[in-house]
């Protein structure tokens, strides 16, 4: 049937409207369908940033902890007082109200900060919650609070040189000393933490006793170390004077780390290494004789003893009486190349690898003349750090095996290298014990933990010359020496003589007692059982009593 | 397209729009709740971080030493309070002599000696006198 002609326009109009209506309906349906699919499938990716913070850490930097998990450095969220100067109409009034709300902020300081021709300025940092409330209560336009990381060091001075510190930067806090600097990349991830080998309890005892000695002997500084000679882990590292990383932005020169950065001639402690080298090469025996009756005059120099015995000494007596003459003769017999080989094996001729930026390069003579070999034999002419000295003596006692030192807690054994034979190591442990029993180390001994060690007193070089009044006195020891486990090093920088030391300022009178005070306190902390009676019985297996008369003059009687 | 079909399409579209609105509204509520929870989580973490820091300050050795001296008077453990577990065993079986410990054991337990390491025990063994006062 054909449509009626007169109805045709109306019908066409209705069709058109219907078509548009259906199209509009399907368009709306399409939009709704797209939105529905979008909502169902892609909503997660379109969440606003505020909703994606469920995994966000509140701070920007990871923690540093000691070997037992105690916090050494951590971060908390603080608020800084900030301002947008262009938005402040009346700077004077704003400064007045701010200084009124924050008593510690002066009007002049606030005005100066708010007057800066910048879009954004920090007015003050580290606001307490009370301060924050006071600022928000003012309701000042152009003034606000901004969250920022506040790095804090619960130990303060106690671990200052090891942990170091940070300084603020645009990209967050950046380490500028110690472990903070060395592990800056790791710590920049707040989910990561660094576990050091330091035991904060041992660190506390070492620092306390060292500070006491520094004060008592009016020294300008001091250094102390405790290491586990079997694992190479540094359990304590102290340097005085120190600084409070919570307050001080940068280290001053006098506060440099004397334990790892300072390099100096260590003096008589090197005699142990000289004797060990000679014994290991079979160049002499403990009973070998050296003429120390008069000073050596060689190559235009004089080598004498501090308190000479003025007689022929056995090799054992050379170490016990700390004879420079005897040690020089030993070194002469060893020869430069052999001595260098052993010192290099102990890591004394190159910069040690330690997880700190503050590690000193040893000062090694460029040419080893015969005189150099002789002086190095008693610890002069070669400058090394306390850290290197401690590691070397630790290797000597650790069955002759050198273990690399580390400031990180070890989870697996480190690669080791043998420097001395077991036999040499045993003899040297016996020798170190003799120094404590008969020589200058006696004040380090105690009933519970038999100690072996060696003192060293070296004059400092000032303007290219040795200064008799400025000394570095040190003691390096191992305990318990019968079953060696820990090495300890104590050094005082320019200690002064006192009445009770009879005018002496040598290591036997200052560094040794300080080490002696530390050992019985840290032994129980480290779980070392007491030695018990006849703790030196092991020594008779190395040198029988009947042979002592051949080694020591006083035994002859 | 018949009027009935059109009517049902309209009803369907309206129902879908209403359903979509309800879902959107519910989702918005959830989003707000999630954002609030996130803020709370972050605030809690901040508080925990502050508490950990305060605890670390309070448990510093120097602080504990001072507080102990002020209020408790405890003394640190001493060397003769530490013994190896083998020592206790020897006492239990009635051995007259304690086994060699510490330095007396010589090279026992040294990593390079090839002998097994004897772990020290933190057991505090009370002597016949009744223990330390």
Burial group, residue A217, by CB count within 10 angstroms (0-12, 13-18, 19+)? buried
Determine the pLDDT at residue A342.
Answer: 96
Residue B32's contacts (CB-CB under 8 Å, 6 or more residues apart) are none
Q: Residue A314 and residue A542: Cα distance in Å, rounded?
A: 17
> Minimal Cα distance from B57: which residue of A?
A154
Provide the token pair at A474.
């040190």
Residues 74-133 of chain B whose Cβ lies under 8 A from any Cβ of chain A: 76-84, 98, 100-113, 120, 122
Own/partner pairs for A546-552, CB < 8 Å, 24+ apart?
A547/A287, A550/A287, A550/A314, A551/A286, A551/A287, A551/A314, A551/A316, A551/A317, A552/A314, A552/A316, A552/A317, A552/A320, A552/A438
Q: Which of A124, A121, A125 is nearest to A142 (CA)?
A: A121
| Predicted confidence (pLDDT) per residue in B29-78, tens digit | 999 999 999 989 988 988 898 899 999 999 999 999 999 999 999 988 88
Interface contact A28, partner B, CB < 8 A: yes
Q: Residue B36 and residue B103: Cα distance in Å, rounded?
A: 62
Neighbouring-strand partners of residue A227:
A234, A487
**Chain B residues whose beta carbon lies within 8 Å of the beta carbon of residue A38:** none
Give the ipTM.
0.76
**Residue B115's pLDDT band (cuts 50, 70, 90):** very low
Contact assignment for B110 to A530 by CB distance below 8 Å:
no
> Minimal Cα distance from B20: which residue of A?
A36
Q: What are phi and psi of A354, to 5 degrees?
A: -140, 150
Which residue bears the tokens 């262009």?
A86
Helix (H, G, I), strand (E, B) or coil at A238: strand
Determine the pLDDT at residue B100.
Answer: 45
**Chain A residues whose beta carbon lies within 8 Å of the beta carbon of residue B56:** 70-71, 74, 154
**Strand pairing report for A194-195 and A64-65:** parallel
Determine the pLDDT at residue A37.
Answer: 79
Exposure pattern of B62-75 as b/e (b: 16+ CB <10 Å)? Answer: eeeeeeeeeeeeee
Neighbouring-strand partners of residue A472:
A458, A493
Residues 369-428 of chain A whose Cβ lies under 8 A from any Cβ of chain B: 398-399, 401, 422
Q: Which of A289, A274, A287, A383 is nearest to A336 (CA)?
A: A274
| Predicted confidence (pLDDT) per residue in A218-245, tens digit | 999 999 999 999 999 999 999 999 999 9
**Residue B130's pLDDT band (cuts 50, 70, 90):** very low
**Chain A residues whose beta carbon lies within 8 Å of the beta carbon of residue B61:** 158, 200-201, 204-205
Q: Is it the case that residue A378 has pLDDT exceeding 90?
A: yes
First-residue to last-residue Cα distance in chain A: 149
Determine the pLDDT at residue A46.
Answer: 53
Contact assignment for B42 to A58 by CB distance below 8 Å:
yes
Q: Is it the case that residue A444 has pLDDT exceeding 50?
A: yes
Burial group, residue A38, by CB count within 10 angstroms (0-12, 13-18, 19+)? exposed
Determine the pLDDT at residue A298.
Answer: 82
Q: Which is it for the CA torsion A85, A91, A97, A100, positive or negative? A: positive
């Amino acid at each position: 049937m054909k449509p009626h002609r007169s109805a045709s326009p109306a019908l066409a109009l209705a069709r058109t409207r219907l078509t548009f209506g259906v199209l509009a309906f399907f368009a709306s349906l399409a939009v709704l369908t797209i939105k529905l699919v979008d909502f169902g499938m892609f909503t997660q990716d379109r969440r606003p940033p505020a909703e994606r913070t469920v995994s966000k850490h509140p701070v920007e930097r990871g923690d540093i902890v000691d070997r037992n998990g105690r916090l050494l450095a951590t971060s908390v969220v603080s608020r800084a007082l900030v301002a947008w100067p262009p938005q402040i109409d009346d700077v004077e009034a704003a400064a007045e109200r701010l200084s009124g709300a924050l008593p510690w902020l002066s009007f002049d300081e606030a005005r100066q900060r708010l007057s800066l021709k910048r879009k954004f300025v920090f007015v003050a940092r580290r606001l307490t919650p009370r301060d924050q409330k006071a600022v928000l209560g003012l309701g000042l336009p152009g003034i606000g609070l901004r969250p920022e990381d506040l790095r804090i060091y619960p130990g303060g001075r106690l671990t200052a040189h090891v942990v170091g510190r940070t300084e603020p930067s645009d990209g967050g806090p950046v380490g500028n000393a110690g472990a903070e600097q060395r592990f800056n990349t790791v710590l920049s991830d707040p989910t990561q933490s660094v576990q050091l080998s330091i035991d904060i309890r041992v660190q506390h005892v070492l620092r306390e006793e060292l500070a006491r000695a520094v004060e008592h002997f009016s020294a300008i500084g001091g250094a102390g170390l405790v290491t586990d000679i079997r694992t190479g882990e540094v359990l304590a590292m102290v340097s005085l004077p120190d600084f409070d990383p919570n307050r001080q932005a940068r280290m001053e020169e006098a506060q440099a780390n004397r334990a790892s950065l300072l390099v100096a001639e260590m003096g008589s402690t090197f005699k142990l290494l000289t004797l060990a080298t000679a014994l290991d090469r079979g160049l002499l025996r403990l009973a070998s004789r050296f003429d120390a009756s008069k000073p050596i005059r060689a190559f235009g120099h004089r080598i004498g003893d501090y308190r000479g015995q003025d007689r022929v000494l056995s090799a054992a007596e050379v170490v016990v009486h700390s004879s420079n003459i005897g040690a020089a003769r030993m070194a002469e017999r060893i020869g430069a190349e052999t001595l260098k080989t052993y010192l290099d094996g102990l890591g004394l001729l190159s910069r040690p690898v330690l997880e700190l930026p503050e590690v000193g390069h040893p000062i090694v003579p460029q040419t080893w003349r015969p005189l150099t070999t002789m002086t190095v034999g008693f610890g002069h002419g070669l400058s090394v750090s306390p850290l290197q000295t401690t590691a070397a003596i630790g290797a000597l006692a650790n069955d002759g095996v050198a273990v690399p030192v580390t400031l990180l807690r070890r989870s697996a054994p480190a690669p080791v290298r043998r420097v001395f034979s077991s036999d040499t190591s045993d003899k040297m442990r016996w020798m170190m014990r003799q120094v404590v029993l008969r020589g200058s180390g006696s004040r380090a001994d105690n009933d519970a933990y038999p100690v072996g060690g060696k003192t060293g007193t070296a004059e400092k070089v000032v303007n290219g010359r040795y200064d008799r009044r400025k000394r570095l006195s040190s003691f390096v020891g191992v305990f318990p020496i019968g079953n060696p486990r820990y090495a300890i090093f104590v050094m005082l920088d320019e200690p002064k003589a006192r009445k009770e030391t009879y005018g002496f300022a040598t290591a036997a009178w200052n560094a040794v007692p300080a080490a002696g005070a530390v050992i019985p306190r840290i032994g129980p902390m480290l779980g070392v059982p007491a030695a018990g009676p006849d703790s030196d019985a092991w020594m008779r297996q190395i040198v029988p009593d009947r042979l002592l008369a051949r080694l020591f003059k006083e035994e002859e009687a | 397209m018949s009027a009935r079909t059109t009517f049902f399409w309209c009803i369907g579209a309206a129902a879908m729009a209403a359903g979509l609105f309800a879902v959107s509204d519910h989702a918005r509520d959830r989003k707000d709740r999630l954002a609030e929870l996130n803020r709370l989580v972050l605030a809690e973490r901040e508080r925990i971080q502050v508490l950990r820091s305060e605890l670390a300050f309070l448990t510093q050795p120097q602080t504990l030493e001072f507080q102990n001296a002020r209020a408790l008077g405890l003394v640190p453990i001493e060397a003769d309070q530490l013994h190896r577990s083998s020592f206790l065993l020897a006492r239990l079986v009635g051995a007259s002599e304690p086994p060699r410990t510490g330095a007396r054991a010589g090279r026992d337990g040294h990593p390079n000696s090839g002998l097994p390491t004897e772990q020290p025990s933190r057991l505090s063994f009370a002597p016949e006198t009744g223990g330390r006062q």
